[in-house]
Amino acid sequence: MKRQYWLWSAAVVAVAVTAVSFAARSGGTPASAPEPNRANALQTRTVALQDKLHARPTDAGTWAELGATYTELARAGADPSYYVKAQGALEESLRIKPDDNGDAMLGQGALANARHDFGAARDWGLKAQAVRPDSAEVQGVLVDAYTQLGDDAAATTALQRMLDLRPGVASFTRASYHFELHGRDEEAKQALDRALTAASSADEQVFCHYYLGELAFNRGDLTEAAHQYDQGLGLSPHDVTSLQGKAKVAGALGRFDEAIAGYKQVVSRVPVPQFLLEYAELLDLAGKPAEAAAQYAILAEQKKLLAAQGANDDLTLTTVAADHGDPAEALRLAQEEWGRRQSVLAADAMAWALQVNGRHAEALEFSDKASVLGWHNAAFSFHRGMILASLDRGPEAVAALTQALSVNPYFSPLHAPAARAKLAELETTR
């Protein structure tokens, strides 16, 4: 009999931990950038694998391991040039051993997820599953791909299987994201608490503290968010995501000098689109438009670099275009992304792109799609409120905008003030 999601939801917070595996939650924020010694370890591992291949150039397993290491380097250090190297190594592994090569198939799936090519990630994950039906890592690739493709039923099934196979950090963190997407915030926190208990290394603990901080920030609890980011920095003082979290809290509290200094350090080390956008909008809010423009220019260059390496972050770039004066480009990017995946994130991007192009009725249709899982997402509620206001549905708009600010009054330096202003406007006309 097929088990339903609720049967294992309680197990997430009660099951005894028997194994640990580390992986990023689905969704957007990159995994923590490594401390210098971690980066050195990855580079040392790469050199060792290359030396091994000089001696044994037809070792398919080593080629697959090298490909996986390159992918890890790309994701950890925001250097997309490693994606092409990873692809070459994995393709060589499959050339040498085209059949039953679970390592390379798994590596291809992880690489495709990292590049945001979620359809390819699903396909490689299914190939790997045929070879390794009892691999938790394979299920992790499938969870991430199905989630971003918007196939909630398949994501739930893969996550259930992953939890059954290995109830550790990788499965608990994915369960947390799954709960969060479904509006089950307390269970999302409990799953991350369980992941933290399961963590067996500082890297894993830092990772869990960061996402506990993100959960707290997303519900407007800046004190708890700062505490979790500080816990991460206590374990790893140079962890870039913890530094980004601290900078984000400082910006929300109006401590602009501190926030700007923090983001400057973050983007100098890991210039991913999300962090560049947050930094640019903070600079705008702090009254530094020229410096903000420089960051938007860097973000545009990052798009070119990602595209050259077969990767994209079009959701972030859609946001930039929609919020900063290029509605036609926003819609083009959103439509392309919707063509690749029909997740709630892509639906919200389509809704907002249509809204800024004046196509309000169509925007509401996509806002409905973005709301289908029940995610308590302040940005989604803000977008919905502005769409409803444009359709002269005032009471519904008030409810949505109130919801946005109730979920997280600090959700955006750009849109939180706009939500308050629109609420005041709507309430004076009632």
Quote the DSSP letter at residue 184. Answer: -
Confidence bin at 39 (pLDDT 50/70/90): low
Is residue 133 in some structural domain? yes
The domain in which residue 381 lies consists of: 326-428
Residue 5 has pLDDT above 90, yes or no: no
Residue 27 has pLDDT above 50, yes or no: no
Last residue of one domain, picked from the residues 105, 125, 145: 145
Q: What is the pLDDT of residues 160-196, one digit of tens each?
A: 999 999 999 999 999 999 999 999 999 999 999 999 9
d(CA 369, CA 365): 7
Q: What is the pLDDT of residues 292-314, one digit of tens each?
A: 999 999 988 888 887 777 777 77
Q: Could you count the other beta carbons within 10 Å of the beta carbon of residue 264?
A: 15
Last residue of one domain, picked from the residues 145, 167, 201: 145
Tokens of 84: 């092409």
| Distance from the Cα of residue 214 to its chain's centroid | 11
Quote the DSSP letter at residue 18. Answer: -
Q: What does the pLDDT read at residue 418?
A: 96
Q: What is the pLDDT of residues 215-261, one digit of tens each?
A: 999 999 999 999 999 999 999 999 999 999 999 999 999 999 999 99
d(CA 160, CA 330): 36
Is residue 45 in some structural domain? yes
Instruction: Give the CATH number of the domain where residue 44 resides.
Output: 1.25.40.10
Is residue 46 in some structural domain? yes
pTM of this structure = 0.89
Is residue 94 in some structural domain? yes
Helix locations, 270-377, DSSP H: 273-285, 289-308, 314-323, 327-340, 344-356, 360-370
Last residue of one domain, picked from the residues 111, 145, 179: 145
Residue 10 has pLDDT above 50, yes or no: no
Is residue 300 in some structural domain? no
CB of 76 closer than 8 Å to CB of 39: yes
Q: What is the pLDDT of residues 85-108, one digit of tens each?
A: 999 999 999 999 999 999 999 999
Is residue 375 in some structural domain? yes
Is residue 314 in some structural domain? no
Is residue 367 in some structural domain? yes
The count of structural domains within the chain is 2
Mean pLDDT of 68-74: 91
Q: What does the pLDDT read at residue 17?
A: 26
